[in-house]
Amino acid sequence: MERVWLSEYEEGVPSDINPEAYASVAAVFEQSCSRFAAREAFRNMGSSITFAEFDRLARDFAAYLQQGLGLDKGDRIALMMPNVMQYPVALFGALRAGLVVVNVNPLYTARELEHQLMDAEPRAIMLVENFCHTLQEAQKKYPVDNVIVTGLGDMLGTLRGAFINFAVRHIKRMVKPWSIPWSVRWGTALSTGAEQVLQPTEIGGDDNAFLQYTGGTTGVAKGAMLTHRNMVANLEQISAWLQCDEGTEVIVTPLPLYHIFSLTANLLNFVKHGGTNVLITNPRDIPTFVKTLKNTPFTAMTGVNTLFNALVHNEDFRQLDFSHFRLTVGGGMAVQRPVAERWQEVTGTVVVEGYGLTETAPVLCANPIHIPGFTGTIGLPVPSTEISIRDDDGEPVDFDEPGELCARGPQVMAGYWQRPEETERSFYEGRWFRTGDVATMSPKGWVKIVDRMKDMINVSGFKVFPNEVEAVAAECEGVLEAGCVGIDDHESGEVVKLYVVAEENATVDIEALRRHCRENLTGYKVPKEIEIIDELPKSNVGKILRRELRGRNGEAADS
């Protein structure tokens, strides 16, 4: 197909990248540690490590996994941690030893963890002690042979680390009782590895780097097999697009690194370019988050709509020095225009919205970084990427017509772990991956997401996409956030229900909101019901969980 979007690329962005630029993600890491040895690699909770220290610690952990635990190339290791410096050290140590990293949401219940362990079959797991009680419960059905445990303060220096660990355990009581007799502490693993020899491991592009599990919103969570070539390709695509300065960037990393967006866009990309990742362990603690930013001359930040919205409504954030700040990247969910415009007004940077999925490592499309303002689109396909919008029969549709967004490129996963049938259903002939998102493409190649296919509301045969209704509602006075779902109706099949959270010290006039919707939406899209709630349910990344809103309505109907 003709790549009509290439004429819209910014100067210096190539039409194609080389997915073989590095043999592996480990090779990217090793080159950066050599080039930027003296530069800070990570900051977290007032402490930091250089690239040289990063290299040494990852080497020691790799040697421990290889020689101390006897793990072999291709074995899986699960990582269950928030954004702390132990995570990147463990991740690159594992990759360096030729292992496959299985990222685990640390807030999983024992049942959710149990499923992921039984599916991925890791030979080892490393986790923060706060979540050991969950692992202990999950171990009843899948006992992991090797367990490495760390405390939140273990890489924050002797005094600071000891104080934080004491506070977490005994003051805040964030560590529940647990007992895993064969577990090993992080410090012991590193000191043991420091005495051992790391044997070189040959890693190729076809080797799996990650089993990255999808959210499981439409069924059981599946592990996307992301190879080293997939990850290197997406790193090259992001590098070409963002045009990062070498060895000078300071990237704020509030989204969890176990999520594919932050993993690639923040951790892997800025390690590649010698940037400093400022790790935010708890981004929901906005006052502490903003205090960290106050002492950080940051140049870039990634986030999602809900995080941007929370920050611009914080008075202390609005008073920060943004003189070094040049790049904001939004992803994970649709960024709403009122939020993006307020962000630009406060920080002076445009939210450069991108788009991708777990299965695509993740970036498929992005807005050019020098756009003057928010576009409301997900931008253009990145280099070496093809996008095709298709109807229900798998046939391409005309420009500006909605259909399922399908993608092809070197960043697209090899398939789902141990699920050949699911893999086959996810692709059209010619390796076109079916994203499950409804989108349109302009004649010049600009792509706009309409909504998720599974979230579409059917009102008397007419399609209503929640994103559109939520965006309109967000423009109304007093509305902080909005979530939209379909609810059953005996006449029209479904009708639109809107859940709204009011701004602090504000009230939402429901009738005024309904009038606003009538003025800006076709009649069948106007919410039939509007409910004011205290908080929208969200994932760890900040996505609005519409399935929980649907469940909430069911509970209300039953009561």
* Measured distance CA(495)–CA(517) in Å, rounded: 14
Contact 253, 280 (CB under 8 A): yes
DSSP label at 129? G
Structure token pair of residue 101: 């990293």
**Between β-strands 403-408 and 432-441, what pairing exists: parallel, antiparallel or unpaired?**
antiparallel
Using left for φ > 0, alpha for ψ between -120 and 50, and beta otherwise, residue 321 falls in beta
- Give the pLDDT band (50/70/90) at residue 301: very high
pLDDT at 216: 44
Mean pLDDT of the chain: 94
CATH architecture of the region 48-203: 3-Layer(aba) Sandwich (3.40)
Interior CA angle at 266 toward 301 and 343, to 5°?
A: 15
243, containing H or E segment: none
Average pLDDT over residues 432-451: 94
* Measured distance CA(298)–CA(80) in Å, rounded: 27
10, containing H or E segment: none
* CATH code of the domain made up of 386-452: 2.30.38.10
The verdict on pTM exceeding 0.95 is no
- Give the pLDDT band (50/70/90) at residue 217: very low
| Ranges of each domain in the chain | 48-203, 386-452, 456-558
Per-position DSSP letters for 429-462, written without gaps between them: TTTEEEEEEEEEE-TT--EEEEEEGGG-EEETTE
SS3 for 60-109 is HHHHHHHHHCCCCCCCEEEEECCCCCHHHHHHHHHHHCCCEEEECCCCCC
Tell me how far apart the 2 most distant CA atoms of the chain are, in Å: 72
| CA pseudo-torsion sign 494, 332, 134, 144 | positive
Average pLDDT over residues 88-96: 98
Structure token pair of residue 303: 């986030």
* Measured distance CA(30)–CA(386) in Å, rounded: 31
- At 236, the amino acid letter reads E
State the angle between helix axes of 51-63 and 186-194 in degrees (0 to 180), rounded to the nearest 10.
Answer: 90
CA distances from 93 to 30, 54, 489 (A): 11, 10, 54
HSE toward the beta carbon, residue 531, CA cutoff 13 A: 17
- Checking if the pLDDT of 559 tops 60, the result is no
Fold annotation for 456-558: GMP Synthetase; Chain A, domain 3 (3.30.300)
Higher pLDDT, 96 or 456: 96
Per-residue model confidence as pLDDT tens digits over 96-147: 999 999 999 898 889 889 999 999 999 999 999 999 999 999 999 899 999 9
Per-residue model confidence as pLDDT tens digits over 405-414: 999 999 999 9
Per-residue model confidence as pLDDT tens digits over 145-189: 999 999 999 999 999 999 999 999 999 999 999 999 999 999 999
Which residue is listed with tokens 């939004």?
330
- Checking if the pLDDT of 491 tops 80, the result is no
Q: How many CB atoms lie within 10 A of CB 375?
A: 18
What is the number of helices (H) and of strands (E) in the chain?
18, 27
* Measured distance CA(9)–CA(205) in Å, rounded: 28
The residues that bridge with 449 in the sheet, in sequence order, are 439
pLDDT at 529: 95
Nearest to 80 by CA among 50, 56, 108, 42: 108
Contacts for 555 with CB less than 8 Å, ≥ 6 apart = none
